[in-house]
Each structure stands twice: as structure tokens, then as C-alpha cells.
Amino acid sequence: MEQVAPAPDLMPDWQSIRVFLVLERAGSFRAAAAQLGLSVNSVRRRIGDLESLIGAPLLTRHVDGIRLTAEGQAILKSAGRMEAAAFGLLRAGEAAPFSETGEVRIAVTEGLGAFWLAPRLVEFQRANPRLTVDLRCAMESADVLRLEADIAIQLTRPTSPDLRMVKLGRIHLLPYAAREYEETYGIPASPEELTRHRIVVQASGQTIRLDEYSRGIPGFPATVPIALKINVSSAYYWAIAKGAGIGLLPTYASAIGARVVPVDNLGRYSLDIWLTYHPDVERIERVRRTIDWVRAAFDPRRYPWFRDEFIHPRDLPTAIKGAPLHDLFAGFTAMTP
């Protein structure tokens, strides 16, 4: 017997399903409302309408958030398939020939975006004048599976098997201090002396915790005087550059413009840089072109501070080929030899 499709007014709309998915992932009405840009009452009304349509409660409310009922768990699976199908439609549309011009969304950590990728974008724009680049600099990883970005550059290795990932290189970090700080407080000659100094830490996603860094460094104090905590890399860099204290910076930091110097004998740390994207976006010409450009922008053969092996900042000027090291970062401040 032929099945009869439900009447359109009995079908849940995609927006209500999307609200339900965001609510389940956020864990509370307030968090979901903030993510969706809606009021808490609007989110509750959407869920109430969906429950009325389904004919069963989808969740229960608790002091620590929401929990799905058995019906809610069943709906969740179907909603996930709806979301995947919706994203598939979007990707199919993006791959159409008429969409060769348009926008490419790049998510990148704030430091790499501000100090490295943004200045490199000039050459990419000249080669691709009809493309619009939406550069999203943030310390939290973007979810490329849900199209928060077309491609993402991050310091945490992706875990989803559905993503394509490429190791772009490695970023090496050393303790740095400003020349002014050195003149005022001196420089610690050993980890033990850090108790008499001022420390600046970056506290946000994809950053290194102080205990992770200090682990395995002999003589590193159990506690150090933290003078300042900052969440974004650009403010973190300039705080150190102005003498707020000693903090971890990439090995190319002394070339950015401020008078900062590496502090040796306090250890070092390295993080891999990952490029990640959904395999389907490679079929989109403008995204594929952007992926190729990003890979070239982090080429360790051209930019030695992204190599796997550590190169001390003093040796970088002789390791680089082509333009002088300071020219690659010119524009942030007046350069000092």
C-alpha cells in the first residue's frame, strides 16, 4: 500500500529542529539562547511547539541544565541526519560552477591570524581579486563539520574521522621579556629565580597552561607570581612588549617590532599547527585555491620558524631565504635593529 506523506503543517520546520540541536549541545536554555541570538522565552516556545507536534516531552529540566527523554534521544538522531542533509545541500550549492567567485571563511587562532596570516592576505587578494576572505581570529576551534568555517587553522589536533587534516608546521615558544623589563628587573638566570619576577600568562582555548609548560623543567617553582592574565594573543604580546612581565611567545616574536628578547635556560615548548576542513569543500574552486595558499603561507622550507626542529631566534635571520626576516613583519611598529 502506498504511504501517504504527512501534511506540511504536521512536519517540523528546520528552525525548530536547529534550536533543539543547539539546546542539546549547549546543555541549557540560557546557553542555547546566547548561541542562537534569541531570548530564553523564544527558545522555550520553539521547544514547546516541537514537543506539541511530536506529541511527547523531549527533555526534562534540572538545576544543572537539561536532559533528553527517550523520545528526545530518538528525535536527536533524526535531527542529526536532517542537519547533515542540510549541510550537504549547502555544500552542493557551493560546488556549482556559478559560485566560483564568492566568500571563503578562514578560522584561525588569534595570534597566527593577527601577526602572520592577515599580513600575508595582501598577496592572496592581489592574485584573487574577486574573492572575499572572512578571516575569523579566535582562540576557540571552529566546527568545520557544521560549516562555522570553510577551513580552520588550529593548535589542537582534530579528532573527527570525517575531517581532512594537514599538518602545516610547528610553532616553537620561548619565554620572552621586553628590553625595558630587563633594564628594570633583570633576567632570571635559572627557573628558581622566577619567584622574584613578574609572569604574564595567556588563559584561553588552545593555549599552554603553565603547569604543562613547566612539567619536566628541573627547578621550576611550584608557584610563580602571575602579574597578568590575558585571553587574546595580540594583547598578550603587547603587554609583554611593554614590560608587564615574562611570557611565552613564538620564536619569531623578536621580529614583530617590539624590543623583546628571549630568556634562555627556562625551557621551551612546541605545538603542531593543523589545517582542517571537510573533504567536500575541496570540490569548491575558491576554497581549494585558499587551501593551497594557506599551505604555502606556512611552508617550513620558506619560513624556518615553522619547522619541526627548534631554531633559536638569534639564528633565524640566517636560516630564512628571500626577504629579510624583519620585512615579513614590518608595519606593526617602527623596526629596531
Asked whether the CA dihedral 128, 134, 139, 143 is positive or negative, the reply is negative
Q: 146 to each of 25, 55, 110, how far by Cα in Å?
A: 13, 29, 21
Q: Which domain holds residue 24?
A: 8-94
DSSP per-residue letters across 263-313:
-TTS--EEEEEEEEE-GGGGGSHHHHHHHHHHHHHT-TTTSGGGSSS---G
**Confidence (pTM):** 0.68
pLDDT over 70 (residue 102): yes
155 inside domain: yes
Q: Of all residues in the chain, what percent carry a pLDDT higher than 70?
A: 86
Tell me: do 172 and 64 sit in the same domain: no
| Total count of domains within the chain | 2
Tell me: do 263 and 321 sit in the same domain: yes
Tell me: do 187 and 82 sit in the same domain: no
Tell me: do 111 and 232 sit in the same domain: yes
Task: Work out the pLDDT band at 258, boundaries 50, 70, 90.
Answer: low
Tell me: do 49 and 147 sit in the same domain: no
Q: pLDDT, tens digit, for every residue of 151-193? A: 999 998 888 888 889 999 999 999 999 999 999 999 999 999 9
Q: pLDDT, tens digit, for every residue of 118-138? A: 988 888 888 888 889 999 888
Task: Work out the pLDDT band at 5, boundaries 50, 70, 90.
Answer: very low
Q: What is the pLDDT of residue 77?
A: 83
Q: pLDDT, tens digit, for every residue of 55-93? A: 888 888 887 788 888 888 888 888 888 777 776 666 655
Tell me: do 108 and 90 sit in the same domain: no
CATH number reported for the structural domain that contains residue 266 in this entry = 3.40.190.290
Tell me: do 69 and 112 sit in the same domain: no
